[in-house]
Amino acid sequence: MTEHPLSQFRYCPKCGSHRFEIHNGKSKQCPDCGFVYYFNPSSATVAFIVNDRNELLVCRRAKDPAKGTLDLPGGFVDMYETGEEGVAREVLEETGMTVTRAQYLFSLPNLYLYSGFMVHTLDMFFRCQVEDTLHFRAMDDAADTFFVPFAKLRPEEFGLASIRKGLEKFLKECV
């Protein structure tokens, strides 16, 4: 059983009190200043980029978690970004490709271990069109990036649970 994420927050972020106590299953409350903190998921994006040969762009993860396994371009949404802006930025950072259109498809909850901290995320999956599917390169969190024919995609080769589930859903419902 995984430790509840609220257990890692020991001090009130508003007043610093050490009396930061469980309020309910989703929040902690400070009896000193009354502040209530609700633990909500972080937003993340995932891109499905398909070329004209019905191949999907995949990446090989350069970093943990799941270093060396397959992945799809994407990552955390920054503050003040929309999901569409976040997925476009992540695709550019990881592949050098410019997204011209991002169509929201679905979302899945995920757990992502980041710097020893379990982050609850809500992964938003987008079908992305890019300016050019011929010129790209692995950058940032991607060790490699390449297109794979739909028939050769194996979800079990993808290291993150939500990516595996999302790929299965995409291949079943969106292709």
Whole-number Å distance between alpha carbons of 15 and 30: 9
Instruction: Please identify which residue in the block is written with the tokens 């490699």.
Output: 144
Task: Please report, as a single letter, which amino acid is at residue 127.
Answer: R
What local confidence, expressed as pLDDT, does residue 175 receive?
A: 76
Whether the Cβ atoms of residue 148 and residue 49 lie closer than 8 Å to each other:
no
- The residues that bridge with 146 in the sheet, in sequence order, are 58
Angle CA(131)–CA(105)–CA(119) in degrees, nearest 5? 100
- The residues that bridge with 126 in the sheet, in sequence order, are 47, 104
Whole-number Å distance between alpha carbons of 58 and 52: 15
pLDDT digits (tens, 9 = 90+) for 24-52: 888 999 999 999 999 899 999 999 999 99
What structural domains does the chain harbor? 5-38 (no CATH), 42-173 (3.90.79.10)
What local confidence, expressed as pLDDT, does residue 1 receive?
A: 43
Mean pLDDT calculated for residue range 11-23: 94
pLDDT band at 3 (very low <50, low <70, confident <90, very high): low
What local confidence, expressed as pLDDT, does residue 4 receive?
A: 67
What local confidence, expressed as pLDDT, does residue 8 receive?
A: 81
- The residues that bridge with 57 in the sheet, in sequence order, are 147
Mean pLDDT calculated for residue range 87-116: 94
Q: Which of 91, 172, 166, 94 is nearest to 124 (CA)?
A: 166
What is the average pLDDT score of the chain?
93
